[in-house]
Amino acid sequence: MGDGELNEGSNWEALLFAAHHKLTNLTVIVDANGFQAMGQTHEIMDMESLSAKLGSFGLTVRNANGHDLENLRCLHKDRTRTAPYAVIASTVKGKGVSFMENNNAYHYTRLTDETYRTAMSELA
pLDDT tens for the chain, 124 residues: list them. 999 999 999 999 999 999 999 999 999 999 999 999 889 999 888 888 999 999 999 999 999 999 999 999 998 887 878 899 999 999 999 999 999 999 999 888 999 999 999 999 999 9
What pLDDT does residue 79 have? Answer: 83
> What is the pTM (predicted TM-score) of this model?
0.88
What pLDDT does residue 93 have? Answer: 95
**HSE-up of 122 (CA within 13 Å, CB side)?**
14
Cα-based distances in Å from 35 to 6, 19, 38, 65: 11, 26, 8, 16
Q: What is the 3-state secondary structure (H, E, C) of the chain?
A: CECCHHHCHHHHHHHHHHHHCCCCCCEEEEEECCEECCEEHHHHCCCCCHHHHHHHCCCEEEEEECCCHHHHHHHHHCCCCCCCEEEEEECCCCCCCCCCCCCHHHHCCCCCHHHHHHHHHHHC
User: Where along the chain do its domains lie?
Assistant: 5-91, 96-124
Task: Spell out the residues 6+ positions from residue 10 whose beta carbon is closer than 8 angstroms to its own.
Answer: none
